[in-house]
Amino acid sequence: MPIILTANLMLRFLLELCAIASLGYWGFHTGKGTFVKIGLGIGAPLVAVLIWGTFVSPRAAVAVHGFWHLLLEFVVFGTAAAALYAAGHPSLSAAFMLAAVINRVLMYVWQQ
């Protein structure tokens, strides 16, 4: 069982990295003009990282619990899934969100 628990935490980390990457991908492919593309491509992932690091991560500066923690997770992962959808990858968006939901349910069940 410890291997499965570790694998679930590794999946969580990969989902976090994918969320950052998908927001960057969306930003660089959505904006009109070089400066807007750079701004969105760097700004959107930066905002997600700031939210995650400040409120959601295990070593968060401002620890939130319960509903607020779940809401902020949904905001970050949901925005990343919406970014993938908007960038023209609806199947990848659905797969990402499904993986994030399954991972969160398993984290709750296994009290991770």
Residue-level pLDDT at 80: 98
Helical pair 90-109 and 2-30, crossing angle rounded to 10 deg = 150
Residue linked to tokens 């980390």 = 13
CA distance 110 to 88: 35
Each residue's pLDDT tens digit, 2-61 = 999 999 999 999 999 999 999 999 999 998 899 999 999 999 999 999 999 999 999 999
Q: Structurally, how many domains does the chain consist of?
A: 1
Burial 7-23 (b: 16+ CB within 10 A, else e): ebbebbeebbebbbebb
Q: Count, in order, helices (H) and strands (E) of the chain.
A: 4, 0
Q: What is the span of the domain harbouring residue 36?
A: 2-109
DSSP classification of residue 33? S
Residue-level pLDDT at 31: 81
Residue-level pLDDT at 1: 86
